[in-house]
Amino acid sequence: MTRGSVWFVGAGPGDPKLLTIKGMEALSRADVVVYDRLANPLLLTHVKPHARLVYCGKEADRHTLPQEEINRLLVQEAQSGHTVVRLKGGDPSMFGRVGEEAQMCLEHGVPFEIVPGITSGMAVPLYAGIPLTHREYNSSVAFVTGHLCEKNAGKEPDWRALASMETLVIYMGVKNLPYIKEQLLLHGKRADTPVALVRWGTLGKQETVSGRLQTIDRTVVEAGFKAPAIIVIGEVVHLRETLNWYEKKPLFGQRVAVASRRTEGRGLIQELELLGAEVWPIPLREQPASSQGLSGDAAAYEWLVFDGVQKVRDFFRELSSRRFDIRQLTGKIAAVGKETAALLEEKGLYPQHVFESTVQTSDLHQALSARSGERILPITSESGTGILQAEESAAHRVSAAALEWDWQHPAAGWFASESFDLLATDDPAALFALAQFAGEDWQKRRLLCLGEDAIAQAKNMGWDAVVECAEGTEQLASVFASLQTGKEAAHLYS
């Protein structure tokens, strides 16, 4: 019988980019994922398409699965030969009961491994501009749970010792905040000690409330502040006044659903994140598009000219679908743009000429110094919106891959249940998938399009509220600034 195993993985504090590389690798191998309420659902996009997901979220007085059943589930799945990931919010060892679950695995002979995560007690204050130590304020920090303060007297913390600590970080303490305040004051903590509570830290919906120990419980009630939150007590809270970096980002609080095949480098997703947006890259799946066939035999041309990165991808996809041997491409190669040239080199084709701007078909012979009789095949887009302005008779128009919203993806349910301030794409081929995702009245949903190809395709589809931005992602902040002043569309071109 195949022997399974259990991986206890720290999901981090919320921001999906704070998952460790080892944690991501474990998720990609998992057959079963048992995940908590505080594990960001975006992390589930790393799992295999047919992995089974089991939610065991816990809230105050309401547990989806009792702890004993969780323990039993982990053992049973592993004994069935499955690789199981127990995805726990923050770090699994910080009030995460990983010790109990690991002991259960040990008792039943189930191999296990523990992958640490970034604990919310450290990351969340930093995202609120509060370093836990600063040599002008403190030299010690204590981490404590506030969950057992009113009961289980035998497990009560040493309040006198905690009151003497320079900085306290309290998990799960919102409900019991009045009791925590009372005990700290009773045991010598100053009434004017600064306090901050940070809710949903590291996410776009992060909220922070601050005040003084004497009145912080009333401040929290007046603000309607709820769990989950981290509580920080100590003079380091003063640093928030100057170091509050995350909540001051221009797109902080904006949740954006992005459809794009580009996940690496400085693309739309990365730029939106740098500006502070909470970005949800929707799951996509590619359906083979019908090939229109090469305009003649590509091997018969002396020059192939590619007018964009996506045209290179689509061209090679078409060659693959036709089982075309790339060694038959004996002609010279030209590219429009450095990124296009770089991708061609990755594919094993090294351009002899790289254009930096638009070029007309009629000028190609002169621009390429082509000899008389040499045939040139421009590779342009199916919609004719590429940089290279090619004539119908002279161009091979590659058909873009048909992308769909992958509603069967394990994480798709989370996406469908969330609301978004904006939809966005830099990929013309992903617009249909984005329309599927948006559902009814998709034409009326506000759509950010990056790049002239995507803009033209969105308008051809009949999308009404198109927010336009040229290729330069540095203009995104200006686009959003225009939107926040009430403009429904911004036309910003280089």
Tokens 């019991």 -> residue: 176
- Separation in Å, CA 166 to CA 6, 33, 158, 190: 39, 39, 15, 11
State yes or no: pLDDT of 386 exceeds 80.
no
Strands 353-355 and 466-469, by their bridges, are unpaired
Q: Are residues 393 and 442 in the same domain?
A: no
Residue 425: the pLDDT is: 92
Please report whether residue 414 resides in a domain.
Answer: yes
State yes or no: pLDDT of 394 exceeds 70.
no
Q: Are residues 437 and 368 in the same domain?
A: no
pLDDT, tens digit (0-9, with 9 covering 90-100), for 133-181: 999 999 999 999 998 644 555 577 899 999 999 999 999 999 999 999 9
Whether 258 contacts 280, CB under 8 Å: yes
* Main-chain phi, psi angles of 216, to 5 degrees: -65, -35
Please report whether residue 289 resides in a domain.
Answer: no
Residue 49: the pLDDT is: 82
Residue 81: the pLDDT is: 96
DSSP H or E run through 25? helix 21-29
Share of the chain above pLDDT 90, in %: 47
Q: Are residues 139 and 209 in the same domain?
A: yes
Burial class of 185 by CB neighbour count within 10 A (0 to 12, 13 to 18, 19+):
middle
CB atoms within 10 A of CB 494: 7
Lowest mean pLDDT among 6-10, 238-242, 355-359, 441-445: 355-359
Please report whether residue 264 resides in a domain.
Answer: yes
Domain count, the chain: 4
Please report whether residue 292 resides in a domain.
Answer: no
Q: Are residues 377 and 446 in the same domain?
A: no
Instruction: Band the pLDDT of 450: cuts 50, 70, 90.
Output: confident
| Mean pLDDT along residues 335-345 | 87
Residue 376: the pLDDT is: 74
Q: Are residues 40 and 56 in the same domain?
A: yes
Residue 167: the pLDDT is: 97
Q: Are residues 187 and 108 in the same domain?
A: no
Average pLDDT of the residues of the chain = 83
Q: Are residues 157 and 86 in the same domain?
A: no
Q: Are residues 378 and 414 in the same domain?
A: no
User: Structural domain of residue 339, as residue ranges?
Assistant: 298-400
CATH assignment of the domain containing 163: 3.30.950.10
Residue at a domain's end among 63, 83, 118: 118
Catalytic center residues: 36, 58, 172
The more confidently predicted of residues 433 and 117 is: 117
Q: Are residues 235 and 127 in the same domain?
A: yes
Residue 493: the pLDDT is: 26
| E strands in 326-441 | 332-336, 353-355, 376-381, 396-398, 402-405, 422-425
Residue 98: the pLDDT is: 93
State yes or no: pLDDT of 2 exceeds 80.
no
User: What region does 103 belong to: left with phi over 0, alpha with psi -120 to 50, or beta?
Assistant: alpha
Q: Are residues 409 and 268 in the same domain?
A: yes
Q: Are residues 150 and 101 in the same domain?
A: no
Structure tokens at 442: 């998709």
CB atoms within 10 A of CB 222: 11
Rg (CA), the chain: 28
Length of the chain: 494
Whether 228 contacts 394, CB under 8 Å: no
| Mean pLDDT along residues 453-462 | 85
CATH assignment of the domain containing 461: 3.40.50.10090
CB atoms within 10 A of CB 148: 15
DSSP H or E run through 259? strand 255-259
Residue 409: the pLDDT is: 81
Please report whether residue 175 resides in a domain.
Answer: yes
DSSP H or E run through 143? strand 142-145
The percent of the chain in helix, strand and coil, each rounded to the nearest 5, is 35, 20, 45
Cis preceding linkage at 194, omega within 30: no
Lowest mean pLDDT among 71-75, 223-227, 308-312, 343-347: 308-312
Please report whether residue 263 resides in a domain.
Answer: yes
Q: Which of 225-229, 259-263, 357-361 has the highest mean pLDDT?
A: 225-229
Cα(273)–Cα(128) distance, integer angstroms: 17
End-to-end CA distance of the chain: 63
Please report whether residue 74 resides in a domain.
Answer: yes
The more confidently predicted of residues 357 and 284 is: 284
Residue at a domain's end among 400, 420, 451: 400
Q: Are residues 207 and 223 in the same domain?
A: yes
Please report whether residue 156 resides in a domain.
Answer: yes
Residue at a domain's end among 80, 100, 118: 118
Cα(349)–Cα(304) distance, integer angstroms: 10
pLDDT, tens digit (0-9, with 9 covering 90-100), for 277-302: 999 999 888 765 444 444 345 666 77
| Mean pLDDT along residues 44-51 | 88
Cα(429)–Cα(257) distance, integer angstroms: 16
Residue 133: the pLDDT is: 96
The more confidently predicted of residues 149 and 274 is: 274
State yes or no: pLDDT of 95 exceeds 60.
yes
